[in-house]
Amino acid sequence: MPELAEVEYFRKEWNPGLGQTVRRVHLHPQARIFRETSPVLLQRRLKGERFLDSFSHGKNLLFQFSGGGWLGGHLGMTGSLRVESVGDSFDPEKHDHLVLFLESVALVFTDPRMFGRIRFEVSSDSPPDWWLQLPPGVLTTVFTKERIVEFTGRRARTPIKTLLLDQSVFPGIGNWMADEICWRLHWHPARLSGTLSEADATELWKMVRQVSRQALKVIGDGWNDPPDSWLFNHRWEKDHQCPRPGCGGDLVRADLRGRTTCWCPVCQQEQRPA
């Protein structure tokens, strides 16, 4: 499932179309990704407009067009964006539910399982309300440590891992990033938020930002493989060992409140309230 860095990577995939005019819009009007918008309006209003700019925020995407058109996107579980050349004979495939044919490229939104979402609104120069109401991004100055201290205190009975997946506070953090954050902090993912001191919550705030910054650099910029010193490269396969120098514990994968979670039982000991 795409998290903040993957979403940023996909945003840039459409960059070759910037400045170009939409010649034609191909879409599957019955596709579930259009459940919150009018595909007919989108098709009618985007034709003839220019692709001006793009933005990502956590797991959300926003594309700006001339004429006041704002195309929003969420990739759900299996959504992705790509660009195709229109010079050769590009025909949209089965799961290409939205294709914007521009002058030299086609911008494609693909989503086999259709948990993703497309929104379209025509407004002025200002982004749509849903976008303006998104919570502060984890790398912005308004994502303060005070906010995290207060939030962890309010959710005392919630495991840290579950807390990190709350998009209203940690937009863009998903399953692998949450596991990476817990692992780097040496915290058991099931540790309850209520056991965090103010200093711990500050460490959490710092680590969320550190992992986000590094993920954006490595994955968000060209989708490079993360280094082997991250938990990331070891969490997917069976019988893998903890990559922390000097640890070598066997990684565990188990369900935690409905999400597959990976951790090292040696260097991430469970900590319970005193």
- In the complex, the residues that contact Zn ion under the rule CB under 5 A are 242, 244, 247, 249, 264, 266-267
Instruction: Using the minimum distance from each CB to Zn ion, give the nearer residue, 32 or 184.
Output: 184
Least separation in angstroms between CB 254 and Zn ion: 16
Instruction: Using the minimum distance from each CB to Zn ion, give the nearer residue, 154 or 186.
Output: 186
Least separation in angstroms between CB 226 and Zn ion: 17
Least separation in angstroms between CB 206 and Zn ion: 20
Least separation in angstroms between CB 19 and Zn ion: 49
Instruction: Using the minimum distance from each CB to Zn ion, give the nearer residue, 74 or 188.
Output: 188
Instruction: Using the minimum distance from each CB to Zn ion, give the nearer residue, 32 or 234.
Output: 234
Least separation in angstroms between CB 160 and Zn ion: 17
Least separation in angstroms between CB 247 and Zn ion: 3
DSSP string, the chain: ---HHHHHHHHHHTGGGTTPBP-EEEE-TT-GGGTTS-HHHHHHHHTT-BEEEEEEETTEEEEEEGGGEEEEEE-TTT-EEEEEESSS-----TTEEEEEE-SSEEEEEE-SS---EEEEEE-SSSPPHHHHTSPPPTTSTTS-HHHHHHHHHHTTTSBHHHHHT-TTTSTT--HHHHHHHHHHTT--TT-BGGG--HHHHHHHHHHHHHHHHHHHHHTTTT-PPPPTTSSGGGSSSTTPBP-STTT-PBPEEEEETTEEEEE-TTTS------
CA 85 to chain CA mean position, Å: 26
DSSP string, 183-244: HHTT--TT-BGGG--HHHHHHHHHHHHHHHHHHHHHTTTT-PPPPTTSSGGGSSSTTPBP-S
Instruction: Using the minimum distance from each CB to Zn ion, give the nearer residue, 50 or 161.
Output: 161
Instruction: Using the minimum distance from each CB to Zn ion, give the nearer residue, 101 or 187.
Output: 187
Instruction: Using the minimum distance from each CB to Zn ion, give the nearer residue, 52 or 247.
Output: 247
Least separation in angstroms between CB 208 and Zn ion: 20
| Residues 96, 42: Cα–Cα separation, whole Å | 16
